[in-house]
Amino acid sequence: MNVLFVAPSGARAKALATETRRAVDAGHRVLLVAEGESKLDGHELDGRVQTHWIGSSRLSYTEPRATRLFRRRLPLAVLRRVGRGPLRARARRAAKDWRERVVAPLDAEQKTRTQRMRRDRRDAVVREQVQGWAPDWVVLHEPLAVEAVAGFLPALIAERPALRTTYAFEELWDETDG
Amino acid sequence: MAERRPRLLYLAFFFPPSRASGVFRARATANYFVEQGWDVTVLRGPDRFFDEITGARDDAMTDTVDPRVEVAAPEMDYFRWETDVREYGRFRGNFPGAARAWFNWKQEHVFPDKYQGWGTAALREGLRRHRKDPFDLIVATGNPFASFGSAWALSKLMRRPFVVDYRDSWTLDQFKNADMFPPEHPAWKWERRILRSAAASLHVNDAMRAWHAGKYPEAADRMQVVLNGWDPDVVSDEQSSPDEDRPLSFSFVGTLTHVQPIGSLLEAYRLMTERGDHAGAQLDFYGHIGFFAKTEADLKADLGLDKELPGVTVRGPVPKPAIATAYAASDVLVFMTGGSKYVTTGKVFEYMATGKPIVSVHEKGCAAEELLRGYPLWFEPASLDPEDVAAAMADAGDAARKSDPDTAARARAYAQSFTRYAALAPFEQWSRDLVAKRKG
Look at chain A and count its residues: 178
**B362 domain-assigned:** yes
Q: Does the ipTM surpass 0.85?
A: no
**B237 domain-assigned:** no
**B204 domain-assigned:** yes
Q: Tell whether B51 and B189 lie within a shared domain.
A: yes
Compute how many other C-beta atoms are within 10 angstroms of the C-beta atom of residue A40: 19
Q: Tell whether B220 and B262 lie within a shared domain.
A: no
Q: β-pairing, B178-179 with B249-253?
A: unpaired
**B280 domain-assigned:** yes
Stated as kind and residue range, the H or E segment containing B192 is helix B186-197
* CB-CB under 8 Å, A178 with B14: yes
* CB-CB under 8 Å, A157 with B168: no
Task: List the CATH number of the domain containing B348.
Answer: 3.40.50.2000
Q: What is the number of structural domains in chain B?
A: 2
A–B CB contacts, 8 A cutoff, strictly below: 58
Q: Which pLDDT does position B293 carry in this prediction? A: 65
* CB-CB under 8 Å, B84 with A178: no
Does the CB of A175 have a partner CB in chain B at under 8 Å?
yes
Q: What is the pLDDT along chain B (440 residues), one digit of tens a residue?
A: 567 899 999 999 999 999 888 899 999 999 999 999 999 999 999 999 999 888 888 888 899 999 999 999 999 999 988 889 999 999 999 999 899 999 999 999 999 999 999 999 999 999 999 999 999 999 999 999 999 999 999 999 999 999 999 999 999 998 888 999 999 999 999 999 999 999 999 999 999 999 999 999 999 999 999 999 998 877 766 656 556 678 999 999 988 888 889 999 999 999 999 998 888 899 999 988 876 666 677 778 877 788 888 899 999 888 766 788 899 899 999 999 886 788 888 889 999 999 999 999 998 888 899 899 999 999 999 999 999 999 999 999 999 988 788 898 899 899 999 999 999 999 999 999 999 998 87
Q: Which amino acid makes up residue B345? A: T
Q: Which pLDDT does position A47 carry in this prediction? A: 93
Residue A168: CB partners within 8 Å, gap ≥ 6?
A15, A19, A139, A141, B96, B100
For residue B400, the enclosing domain spans 249-418
**B234 domain-assigned:** no
Using alpha carbons, select from A41, A54, A57 the residue that is nearest to residue A5. A54
- What tens digit of pLDDT does each residue of A115-129 get? 999 999 999 999 999
Task: Measure in Å the smallest separation between the Cα of B114 and chain A Cα atoms.
Answer: 9
Q: Tell whether B93 and B222 lie within a shared domain.
A: yes
Q: Which pLDDT does position B236 carry in this prediction? A: 65
Q: Which pLDDT does position A176 carry in this prediction? A: 55
The per-residue DSSP string of B89-125 comes to -HHHHH-HHHHHHHHHHHHHHT-S-TTHHHHHHHHHH
Q: Which pLDDT does position A172 carry in this prediction? A: 67
Within 13 A of B94's CA, how many CA atoms are on the CB side? Answer: 2
Using alpha carbons, select from B325, B307, B328, B309 the residue that is nearest to residue B317. B325
Does the CB of A151 have a partner CB in chain B at under 8 Å?
no
Q: Which pLDDT does position B295 carry in this prediction? A: 67
The nearest alpha carbon in chain A to B13 belongs to: A178
- What tens digit of pLDDT does each residue of A80-122 get? 999 989 999 999 999 999 999 999 999 999 999 999 999 999 9
* CB-CB under 8 Å, A167 with B56: no
Q: Tell whether B274 and B413 lie within a shared domain.
A: yes
The per-residue DSSP string of B265-332 comes to HHHHHHHHHHTTTTTT-EEEEES-BSS-GGGHHHHHHHTT-SS--TTEEEEE---GGGHHHHHHT-SE
For the segment A129-145, the average pLDDT, to the nearest whole number, is: 92
* CB-CB under 8 Å, A146 with B21: no
**B258 domain-assigned:** yes
The nearest alpha carbon in chain A to B94 belongs to: A143
- Show residues of chain B in contact with A154, CB under 8 Å: 86
Q: Are B231 and B312 in contact (CB under 8 A)?
A: no
Does the CB of A158 have a partner CB in chain B at under 8 Å?
no
- Show residues of chain B in contact with A170, CB under 8 Å: 100
Check: pTM over 0.80? Answer yes or no.
yes
Q: Tell whether B360 and B290 lie within a shared domain.
A: yes
Task: Measure in Å the smallest separation between the Cα of A9 and chain B Cα atoms.
Answer: 18
Q: What are phi and psi of B140, to 5 degrees?
A: -125, 135
Compute how many other C-beta atoms are within 10 angstroms of the C-beta atom of residue B295: 18
**B292 domain-assigned:** yes
**B243 domain-assigned:** no
- What tens digit of pLDDT does each residue of B123-134 get? 999 999 999 999
Q: Tell whether B55 and B122 lie within a shared domain.
A: yes
Euclidean distance between CA atoms B390 and B378, whole angstroms: 14
Of A146, A167, A175, the CB nearest to B295: A175
Euclidean distance between CA atoms B39 and B7, whole angstroms: 5
Q: Which pLDDT does position B289 carry in this prediction? A: 84
Q: Tell whether B414 and B427 lie within a shared domain.
A: no
Q: Tell whether B222 and B264 lie within a shared domain.
A: no
Task: Measure in Å the smallest separation between the Cα of A162 and chain B Cα atoms.
Answer: 7
- Show residues of chain B in contact with A162, CB under 8 Å: 294
Q: Tell whether B89 and B69 lie within a shared domain.
A: yes
The per-residue DSSP string of chain A comes to -EEEEEESS-TTHHHHHHHHHHHHHTT-EEEEEES-GGGGTTSPPPTT-EEEE--GGG------HHHIIIIIIHHHHHHHHH-SGGGHHHHHHHHHHHIIIIIHHHHHHHHHHHHHHHHHHHHHHHHHHHHHS--SEEEE-SHHHHHHHTTTHHHHHHH-TT-EEESS------TT--
- What tens digit of pLDDT does each residue of A45-56 get? 999 999 999 999
Q: Which pLDDT does position B292 carry in this prediction? A: 65
Mean pLDDT score of chain A: 91
Q: Which pLDDT does position B40 carry in this prediction? A: 98
Q: Which pLDDT does position B432 carry in this prediction? A: 97
Of B14, B85, B257, the CB nearest to A175: B257
Q: Tell whether B166 and B17 lie within a shared domain.
A: yes
Answer yes or no: is pLDDT of A173 > 70: no
The per-residue DSSP string of B16-79 comes to TTB--TTHHHHHHHHHHHHHTT-EEEEE---HHIIIIIS--B-HHHHTTS-TTSEEE------T
Q: Which pLDDT does position A175 carry in this prediction? A: 55
Q: Tell whether B200 and B268 lie within a shared domain.
A: no
Q: Tell whether B403 and B432 lie within a shared domain.
A: no
